[in-house]
Amino acid sequence: MTNTVSIFILVIFIVMTLLVIGISMIQNNLQNLKSSYILLSCSVLGWIINDVLFFFAKDTEQIQLLYDTKLPFVSISCIALTLVVLRFYRLEANINMFLIAALFIIPILTAFFSATTLTHSMVRSSFTIIELAPRRNIYTDNGFWFWVNAVYSYILLSSSVFVVLTQHKKLPSTYRVPSVILILGILVVCITNVTSVLNVFKMAFDVTIIGMCTFLVFVQASIFQNSSADFLVIARNDIFNFIDESVFILDNNRTVLDTNNSAKIWLSLIGFKETSNFNFMSILNYLKKIGANVNAVENTFNDIDIYFSLDGNNVFYSLEVKEIKGPLDKNLGLYVTMMDVTKYRLLIHELESAAGIDALTGLYNRRGFNQKCEELDKNEFLPLSIIAGDVNGLKTTNDTKGHQIGDKLLNTVSDILKLACPSNSALCRTGGDEFIVLLPNTDKKEADRIICNIQENLKKQENEFFTPSMAMASSTKYKLEENLSDLIIQADIFMYENKKSRRGI
Structural domains in the chain, sorted by start = 3-233 (1.20.1070.10), 243-344 (3.30.450.20), 356-500 (3.30.70.270)
CA distances, 162 to each of 48, 169, 277 (Å): 27, 11, 22
The alpha carbon of 442 is separated from its chain's Cα centroid by a whole number of angstroms, namely: 59
Tell if the pTM clears 0.75, that is, is over it: no
Q: Is the peptide bond before 383 cis (omega within 30 degrees of 0)?
A: yes
Q: Return the pLDDT at 408.
A: 92
Phi-psi region at 127: left, alpha or beta (left = phi > 0; alpha = psi -120 to 50)? beta
Cβ 477 vs Cβ 495: under 8 Å: no
The angle formed by the CA atoms of residues 28, 31 and 33, to the nearest 5 degrees, is 120
pLDDT in tens, 248-306: 888 888 888 888 888 888 888 888 887 667 888 888 888 888 877 776 544 455 567 77
Between 286 and 353, whose confidence is greater? 286
pLDDT in tens, 98-142: 888 999 999 999 999 988 877 888 888 888 888 887 777 788 888
**In what order do the strands lie in the sheet containing 434-439?**
426-429, 434-439, 384-391, 470-477
Other C-beta atoms lying within 10 Å of the C-beta of residue 351:
11
d(CA 15, CA 196): 22
Of 343, 345, 346, 371, nearest to 357 (Cα)? Answer: 371
Q: Which amino acid type is present at position 40? A: L
d(CA 269, CA 11): 62
pLDDT in tens, 54-75: 888 888 888 888 888 889 999 9
99-105 contacts: CB < 8 A, separation 24 or more? 103/79, 103/156, 104/76, 104/79
H-helix segments, 171-298? 177-198, 208-224, 227-242, 261-270, 281-289
Q: Return the pLDDT at 79.
A: 92
Q: pLDDT band for position 28 (50/70/90)?
A: low
Cβ 460 vs Cβ 419: under 8 Å: no
Q: 371 pLDDT exceeds 80?
A: yes
Of 285, 277, 281, 235, nearest to 259 (Cα)? Answer: 277
Between 489 and 319, whose confidence is greater? 489
d(CA 429, CA 435): 4
pLDDT in tens, 373-432: 999 999 999 999 999 999 999 988 888 888 888 999 999 999 999 999 999 999 999 988
Q: What is the DSSP string of 103-168?
A: HTHHHHHHHHHHH-TTTGGGTEEEEEEEE-SSS-EEEEEE-HHHHHHHHHHHHHHHHHHHHHHHHH
Cβ 471 vs Cβ 366: under 8 Å: no
Average pLDDT, the chain: 85
d(CA 306, CA 294): 5
Q: Return the pLDDT at 504.
A: 44
Q: 372 pLDDT exceeds 60?
A: yes
Q: pLDDT band for position 443 (50/70/90)?
A: very high
Other C-beta atoms lying within 10 Å of the C-beta of residue 234:
12
Cβ 104 vs Cβ 75: under 8 Å: no
Q: In this predicted structure, which of 232-241, 254-263, 473-482 has the lowest mean pLDDT?
A: 232-241
d(CA 235, CA 224): 19
pLDDT in tens, 213-230: 988 888 888 777 665 555
Q: pLDDT band for position 475 (50/70/90)?
A: very high
Mean pLDDT to the nearest integer, 79-83: 91
d(CA 175, CA 168): 10
d(CA 70, CA 85): 23
Q: Return the pLDDT at 470.
A: 93
Cβ 165 vs Cβ 183: under 8 Å: yes
Between 330 and 416, whose confidence is greater? 416
Between 227 and 500, whose confidence is greater? 500
